[in-house]
A and B are shown apart, each in its own frame.
Chain A
């Protein structure tokens, strides 16, 4: 119990630090949201409205940084993230609520697929190293070392433009109404296939390589030899003894990569014009949209923290040695 209490304290402190940094960083950025908003609307907002906008965004009062900080905490704890400057007058929470499921759905599933397939392939290659299967390694590593945006553009030009198999952008057929109908879900899968595939292809090498190397290391452990000497079946030795231990570091990197799903897909969402959280973050930064930016950063932070908690928990389940106290 002390173990979990200590972990919990650790996460509380991390959360506090993350929120504080999250609060400070946008304030260190040069520039001014009101002039950005006016510039964005290209003359449709009269410069006379500047003062009104400043008042609306709360920029007219001269509040000390400390007071802003305290207000920020108060609002966060009430789930209040302010109003987006760019999508004015939509509240930030609503913008995030719209964007988050798309990112988590697409990138989450792609990451899980990549992890599962990559780990299985790595298990096989590591177990039978020195066979033809080893040639998969340089191929997959090639795709992961290609810059992602380039890989995505090639995929678009090949599968969307030349072959016309998949749409080049968007997340569903705009003529459909978003409901839980088969037609709509099918459209989402159809639109999501190409981005998901590029994510899998570019990230799978890491999983293969990590698992393969751990398999090679673990295969020479005494307990694997003992398992062989016990006459267990090849499958039992490979999965129960070798892979079961080799997967431990994979699990922690997997949990971390789950945390980065929310923030790490900026490039994909821009290339495929996919309206996920990365796409909104990009527009928010471009428009000096502090509330949205901070809101998204906060969500990213929470996602990473949550993934860490999950990793801690899963690791504790998988490896009895980490459960020990002290």
Chain B
């Protein structure tokens, strides 16, 4: 079944990876690790008082060069906080309490973004790492023309470029995202939501950044526009070779665009694996539950289950696994020890994937004197 969009482009299946079919995307997971951005043990608290809420707890994430890394999870799990913290744009009362964000330039030099001084940070922003924000509607300054807003980012980093040259470059960028260059003279309110988001993408590409963080770039748009934008991002990635961290709560969208997917839950990464693996062979109960909460359009029928309960109150997390109260596979040890990311206890799995579940970590279970339970068949699909 192929549905055709009003724009004549065939709709892909949001879950267009039926079992057994070869993945058409170029595999980005090269055997040799060449990370462009490494987030290590990043922790963020909200609140300055004596009782802050730990919103991100020791999050580590690696973005390989040229890769599209999807970051998925429920609302409030800390996805956006991760993006803001990694770029040091976290608004008060957010506070980065520890960790490193290592950026590796094309020439191999590595800098820790969290330890740059203000001037270095300003120089690094947009040049190395650009962001497309969630609110396409409000991301553009309403009183300046679109062209000026693209150009001022260019000129802030390249003072030798004249305004005219910067505007010419802006026109090229607009063409790159499929907007007519005469729109340079438009004000944001004269553009539709989809066009504004494209302008934001064009703006983000202005300085040819190596990393693009996209924080729910399509959430405010309808599905047709979502598809166009996502395809455009994938296309631009192929042409320009930047790496993307794509943040969304829409797992079905991620399966299409991402090379690798990291699933977040309650401020922690619970599973990190290639997109196909997450979709077909989830190892964490939460990933599995997420995948069973929306219907596949193709392939075998699956039972829709949803996830019982609601996300935990981050200010009241004790020890133990934060997902245990909603987990069908929880056992005694889950309330005693918070699982760490380990290689899944399933023979033959991709060695680069990891999961934070005690079912896969018998050593941690034994360490607290409990009896380990085997990995249930639901979490060890081949």
Identify the A interface with B (CB < 8 A).
220-223, 225-233, 236, 240-241, 244-245, 248, 318-321, 324
| In the complex, B89 has a CB within 8 A of chain A | yes
B91, B133, B141: the one within 8 Å of A241 (CB):
B141
User: Which of chain A's residues have a CB closer than 8 A to the CB of B130?
Assistant: 229-230
When A222-B133, A222-B135, A320-B187 are in contact, do A231 and B157 touch as well, CB less than 8 Å? Answer: yes
Q: Are A245 and B123 in contact (CB under 8 A)?
A: no
User: Which of chain B's residues have a CB closer than 8 A to the CB of A228?
Assistant: 89, 125
Interface centre among B125, B143, B187, by most chain A C-beta atoms within 10 angstroms, is B143
User: Which of chain A's residues have a CB closer than 8 A to the CB of B153?
Assistant: 230-232
Identify the B interface with A (CB < 8 A).
87, 89, 91, 121-127, 130-131, 133-135, 138-144, 152-153, 156-157, 187, 189, 200, 203
Q: Are B87 and A229 in contact (CB under 8 A)?
A: yes
When A236-B152, A320-B189, A321-B187 are in contact, do A229 and B125 touch as well, CB less than 8 Å? Answer: yes
**Please, could you name 30 A-B residue pairs with CB atoms under 8 Å apart, sorted by A?**
A220-B91, A221-B138, A222-B134, A222-B135, A222-B138, A222-B139, A223-B138, A225-B91, A226-B140, A227-B141, A228-B89, A229-B125, A230-B126, A230-B130, A231-B124, A231-B125, A231-B127, A231-B153, A232-B152, A232-B156, A236-B152, A236-B156, A240-B152, A244-B141, A244-B144, A245-B141, A318-B143, A319-B143, A320-B189, A321-B187
- Smallest beta-carbon distance A26→chain B, Å: 45
Q: Are B126 and A324 in contact (CB under 8 A)?
A: no
Q: How far is the CA of A118 from the CA of B351 in the complex (A)?
A: 63
Q: Are A229 and B138 in contact (CB under 8 A)?
A: no
Q: Are B152 and A245 in contact (CB under 8 A)?
A: no
- Smallest beta-carbon distance A250→chain B, Å: 14
* Closest partner residue, chain A, to B84 (CB atom): A225
Majority secondary structure of chain A interface residues (helix, strand, loop or mixed): helix
When A229-B130, A231-B122, A321-B189 are in contact, do A223 and B156 touch as well, CB less than 8 Å? Answer: no
Which 10 residue pairs across A and B have the least CB separation, nearest first?
A231-B125, A230-B153, A222-B138, A320-B187, A223-B141, A222-B135, A231-B122, A222-B139, A231-B126, A230-B126
User: Which of chain B's residues have a CB closer than 8 A to the CB of A220?
Assistant: 91
Q: How far is the CA of A177 from the CA of B133 in the complex (A)?
A: 66
- Smallest beta-carbon distance B48→chain A, Å: 10
User: Which of chain A's residues have a CB closer than 8 A to the CB of B139?
Assistant: 222-223, 226
Q: Are B156 and A230 in contact (CB under 8 A)?
A: yes
User: Which of chain B's residues have a CB closer than 8 A to the CB of A240?
Assistant: 141, 144, 152
* Closest partner residue, chain A, to B130 (CB atom): A229
Q: How far is the CA of A147 from the CA of B46 in the complex (A)?
A: 43
Given contacts A226-B133, A228-B125, A230-B130, 16 further A-B contacts (CB under 8 A): A221-B138, A222-B133, A222-B139, A223-B139, A223-B141, A226-B140, A226-B200, A229-B87, A229-B131, A231-B122, A232-B122, A233-B156, A240-B141, A245-B142, A319-B143, A321-B187
